[in-house]
């Protein structure tokens, strides 16, 4: 696939993800910059190529990580009109759009266009009583607001000046699709919808906000009392992701070990105070600078049923520790007097996988034994 074609695929997916957020969280639409990168990463796109494409997707305001990005007006203008078919699957509910149009049309007939106003909550409840799904109606209203068909003044929905453009019922437009020959398989929306649905659900169901373990662990630092180390963790993770097992296997391996050591070190105090046997050694009553990565892995396996790591994961972690020792010349002189073997790319790839799996184990353990 040529670079321009790949760029179009990336832009299309990211726009589809933002559009899907409207259908899934219509009262809080949009995704943050990090959420967009995570969504693309979950379907195989790389962070760098997504960052390069972001200027074609939304207006990004750096420095506000929690700010939700929205589709630009040019990308939402056609959404309220079904004659502009985006393809299948299509997550818009034509009946919801028709209900909103009908309500505003009746208000305009009774009171005039400029006085055709209704409180959003009342409009939604009327639709629910009429048998329409609440989420679909909220989505229809949000789409019509973003597309400029309606306006909103402190939750009062009205018709913009000079436009009562509710010409045809949506159902009629939908029925025209086969004749217009515009229907096509919208791969971007089909791929984005389940990913965005999971991300939206995690905002409220108690799961970590991020599906990726390294991102999710950053949120746990505050609860563990180490929020001041969040920048350190983010920098290590960023460099870890950029370290290629093919071209920089040593860097990838060393950073993988740093992530394993960091995740276990940050959870050690909490685990030790629970008296479950995990991190139960008196070693963890000393200052953290006396803990070795070997101590941490060993402590994470202790505690039997309450252990953080299974024995099989310990084996992976021990392999990673041995590979990391090549950064210590003294250890290499002792362990490999004839010179250390080359670190192969597949070993570095395995090291990166181990790091993510260990962090996932820590997150699962924290879910079982949360900080009170």
| 262 vs 63: which has the higher pLDDT | 262
Say yes or no to pLDDT of 64 above 60: no
- Distance, in Å, from the CA atom of 271 to the CA atom of 308, rounded to the nearest integer, reads 9
What Cα–Cα distance (Å) separates residue 131 from each residue in 103, 134, 139, 143, 168? 15, 9, 15, 20, 22
Read off the pLDDT band of 180 (50, 70, 90): very low
Q: What is the pLDDT of residue 176?
A: 53
Say yes or no to pLDDT of 218 above 90: no
Which pair of tokens denotes residue 238?
Answer: 């960023």
Say yes or no to pLDDT of 175 above 60: no
Question: Would the CA dihedral through 229, 234, 239, 245 be positive or negative?
Answer: positive
Nearest to 230 by CA among 245, 249, 208, 215: 215
Average pLDDT over residues 80-84: 76
Q: What is the pLDDT of residues 335-362, one digit of tens each?
A: 778 877 777 888 889 999 999 999 999 9
Q: What is the pLDDT of residues 284-312, one digit of tens each?
A: 999 999 999 999 999 999 988 899 999 99
231-236 long-range contacts, Cβ below 8 Å, gap at least 24?
Answer: 232/262, 233/262, 236/262
- From start to end of the chain, where are the E strands? 31-32, 68-69, 117-119, 151-153, 156-158
Q: What is the mean pLDDT of the chain?
A: 86
**CB neighbour burial string for 208-224, b if at least 16 within 10 angstroms, e if fewer:** bebbbbbbbbbebbeeb
Say yes or no to pLDDT of 319 above 50: yes
Q: What is the pLDDT of residue 307?
A: 94
Cα 56 from chain centroid? 19
Enumerate the β-bridge partners of residue 249. Answer: none
Say yes or no to pLDDT of 113 above 90: no
Q: Are 13 and 45 in contact (CB under 8 A)?
A: yes
Average pLDDT over residues 15-25: 95
Q: What is the pLDDT of residue 231?
A: 83
- From start to end of 38-155, where are the E strands? 68-69, 117-119, 151-153
Please give the angle made by the CA atoms of 264, 344 and 351, to the nearest 5 degrees. 15
Counted residue by residue, the chain has a size of 372
Average pLDDT over residues 35-56: 89
Say yes or no to pLDDT of 162 above 70: no
Which pair of tokens denotes residue 313?
Answer: 């994961």
Question: Would the CA dihedral through 44, 50, 53, 56 be positive or negative?
Answer: positive
Average pLDDT over residues 310-334: 85
**CB neighbour burial string for 42-59, b if at least 16 within 10 angstroms, e if fewer:** beebeeeebeebbeebbe
Average pLDDT over residues 11-24: 95
To the nearest whole percent, how much of the chain has pLDDT over 90?
A: 44
Say yes or no to pLDDT of 177 above 60: no
- Distance, in Å, from the CA atom of 124 to the CA atom of 126, rounded to the nearest integer, reads 5
CA dihedral 323, 329, 334, 337 (to 10 degrees): 90
Q: What is the pLDDT of residues 246-261, one digit of tens each?
A: 888 989 999 999 999 9
Q: Which of 170-184, 218-232, 326-340 has the lowest mean pLDDT?
A: 170-184
Average pLDDT over residues 202-207: 67
Q: What is the pLDDT of residue 342?
A: 75
Q: What is the pLDDT of residue 74?
A: 87
| 315 vs 86: which has the higher pLDDT | 315
207 — alpha (psi -120 to 50), left (phi > 0) or beta? beta
| 168 vs 214: which has the higher pLDDT | 214
Q: What is the pLDDT of residue 216?
A: 85
Which residue is associated with the tokens 């020792």? 325
Which residue is associated with the tokens 């609440």? 134
Listed ranges 58-72, 173-187, 221-235, 324-338; the one with the highest mean pLDDT: 221-235
Say yes or no to pLDDT of 181 above 90: no
Q: What is the DSSP string of 292-304?
A: -HHHHHHHHH-SG
- CA atoms lying within 13 Å on the CB side of residue 155: 8
């Amino acid at each position: 696939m040529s670079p321009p074609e790949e760029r179009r695929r990336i832009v299309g997916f990211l726009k589809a993800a933002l559009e899907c957020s409207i259908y899934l969280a219509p009262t809080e639409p949009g995704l943050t910059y990090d959420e967009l990168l995570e969504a693309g990463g979950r379907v195989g796109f790389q962070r760098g190529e997504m960052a390069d494409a972001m200027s074609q997707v939304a207006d990004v305001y750096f420095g506000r990580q929690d700010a939700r990005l929205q589709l630009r007006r040019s990308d939402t203008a056609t959404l309220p009109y079904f004659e502009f078919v985006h393809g299948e699957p299509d997550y818009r509910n034509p009946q919801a759009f028709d209900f909103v149009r009908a309500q505003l049309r009746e208000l305009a007939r009774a009171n005039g266009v400029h006085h055709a106003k209704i409180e959003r909550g009342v409009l939604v409840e009327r639709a629910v009583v009429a048998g329409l799904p609440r989420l679909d109606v909220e989505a229809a209203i949000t789409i019509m607001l973003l597309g400029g068909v309606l306006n909103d003044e402190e939750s009062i929905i009205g018709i913009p000046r000079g436009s009562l453009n509710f010409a045809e019922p949506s159902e009629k437009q939908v029925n025209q699709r086969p004749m217009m020959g515009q229907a096509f398989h919208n791969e971007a929306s089909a791929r984005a919808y389940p990913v965005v649905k999971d991300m939206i659900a995690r905002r409220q169901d108690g799961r970590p906000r991020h599906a990726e373990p390294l991102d999710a662990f950053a949120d746990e630092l505050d609860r563990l009392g180490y929020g001041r180390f969040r920048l350190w963790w983010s920098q290590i993770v960023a460099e870890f992701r950029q370290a290629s097992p093919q071209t920089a296997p040593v860097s990838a391996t060393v950073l993988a070990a740093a992530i394993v050591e960091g995740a276990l070190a940050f959870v050690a105090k909490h685990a030790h105070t629970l008296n479950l046997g995990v991190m139960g050694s008196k070693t963890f009553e000393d200052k953290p600078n006396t803990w070795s990565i070997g101590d941490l892995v060993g402590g994470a396996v202790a505690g039997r049923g309450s252990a953080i790591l299974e024995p099989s994961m310990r084996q992976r972690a021990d392999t990673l520790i041995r590979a990391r020792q090549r950064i210590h010349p003294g250890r290499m002189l002792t362990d490999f007097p004839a010179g250390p073997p080359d670190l192969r790319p597949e070993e570095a790839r395995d090291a990166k996988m181990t790091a993510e799996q260990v962090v996932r184990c820590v997150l699962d353990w924290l879910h079982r034994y949360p900080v009170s």
